[in-house]
Amino acid sequence: MVNMPHMETTTIRTTKTGGRTAAVNALAIVGFIVLLILGMALAIYAASYVPKAVSRIGAAAVYLSSTFSKDGETTLEVVTPDETVPFGDDVVVATSTATTTVVVTPAPVTTGGGTVTTVRPIGTTGGAVTLPLSGLPDLVVENVVTGYLTSTNTSSFRAADEVPDGERGAFKFTIRNQGTNASGRFEFDATLPTSRAFTYSSSIQQSLNPGERIEYVLGFDRTKDGENRKITITVDPDEDIRESNEGNNTRSVTIDIEK
């Protein structure tokens, strides 16, 4: 018997680990860049929006009502000519051939070109002449009265120099056009004595003709206790309206808030 020689076969396997390592490293770099971009985006979002959201936390609730009115009715005597000539469509002046008792609303407003007034003769519906407005408006803040609200309804306003403990601070004020032309639409701001500094900015208000006014009642909660707490009201804060007098657009008052 012939013995055959024993042969061993060895298989050598080689792996190209270099290419795989490079691919893994590339993916890691790409992932890091993506995470970095996401982190930057989140940081920008937080810087832009989070402070606004946080600033609204704990902000005061504001209660506002307004009442529009014209100057009070006044009785006077006027003598008007026999003929009328239309000059515009803003204000109506009654025509008569004799001295007539009339009701005037609003009160006469003197302008550079004469007197602008609304005159309606009692018991007559005859012809009329209209005079145009001219000059500049003049919005003024006046008749500021401090007090408090006993509920969330502004009709519960009580005039006072002090806000009782547990009540809502409030104040009344009037914005009037004492100029000689229509004001155009306007806004106003009110800086309030709240636990966190807060300035109320109104929505757009209706235009006021000469002599017209709006009375507001504005209430607020989260009051900051102490003496002589300041309230400041400013009409047309951005000076969008050209007025004959810009110096009467702001009024400030103080009120005590009980601890």
Do 154 and 107 fall into the same domain?
no
Separation between Cα atoms, residue 71 and residue 105, nearest integer Å: 6
Amino acid 59: pLDDT: 65
Residue 165, domain CATH: 2.60.40.10
CA distance 254 to 1: 127
Task: State whether 66 and 181 are in the same domain.
Answer: yes
Select the more confidently predicted residue: 166 or 77: 166
What per-residue confidence (pLDDT) applies to 4?
58
Tell me: cis bond preceding 106? Omega within 30 of 0 counts: yes
Q: Cα–Cα distance between 42 and 79 in angstroms, integer?
A: 76
Q: Are 109 and 178 within one domain?
A: no
**Same domain flag for 217 and 233:** yes
In a domain, 104, yes or no: yes
Judge if 66 and 182 occupy the same domain.
Answer: yes
Residues 154 and 209 in one domain: yes
Q: Give a yes or no: residue 80 inside a domain.
A: yes
In this prediction, what percent of the chain has a pLDDT beyond 70? 63
Give the least confident one: 84-88, 130-134, 144-148, 205-209. Answer: 84-88
Domain presence at residue 3: no
- 243 and 122 in a common domain: no
Average pLDDT over residues 195-199: 92
CB within 8 Å of 75: residues ≥ 6 apart: 101, 102, 103, 104
User: Which pLDDT tens digit goes with each residue over 120-178?
Assistant: 555 555 555 556 899 999 999 999 999 999 999 999 999 999 999 999 999 999 999 99
CA distance readout (Å), 159 to 63, 108, 155, 169: 16, 31, 12, 10
The answer to whether residue 197 sits within a structural domain is: yes
Tokens of 217: 């009642």
Nearest to 188 by CA among 176, 179, 201: 201
The total number of structural domains that make up the chain: 2
Do the domain assignments include residue 2? no
pLDDT at 51 over 80: no
For a pLDDT cut of 90, what percent of the chain falls above it? 50
Q: Considering 131, 147, 168, which residue would you say is the last residue of a domain?
A: 131
Q: 257 by DSSP, 3-state: which? A: strand
The last residue of one of the domains, among 96, 114, 131, is 131
| Same-domain status, 158 and 182 | yes
Task: Say if 141 falls within a structural domain.
Answer: yes
Question: Does residue 259 have a pLDDT over 70?
Answer: yes
What is the average pLDDT across 229-245? 97
User: For position 21, what pLDDT does the model report?
Assistant: 77
Q: Can you give the residue range of the structural domain that contains 217?
A: 62-70+136-257
Asked if the model's pLDDT at residue 11 lies above 60, the reply is no
Based on the fold, state whether residues 178 and 238 are members of the same structural domain. yes
Q: Is residue 97 included in any domain, yes or no? A: yes
Give the per-residue pLDDT at 97: 32
The vertex-192 CA angle with 191 and 195, nearest 5°, equals 130
Q: Is 90 exceeded by the pLDDT of residue 36?
A: no
What burial letters (b/e) apply to 9-35, b meaning 16+ CB within 10 Å?
A: eeeeeeeeeeeeeeeeeeeeeeeeeee
Domain contains 142: yes
Residues 161 and 233 in one domain: yes
Q: Based on the domain organization, do 153 and 86 belong to the same domain?
A: no
In this prediction the pTM is 0.58
109 and 177, same structural domain?
no
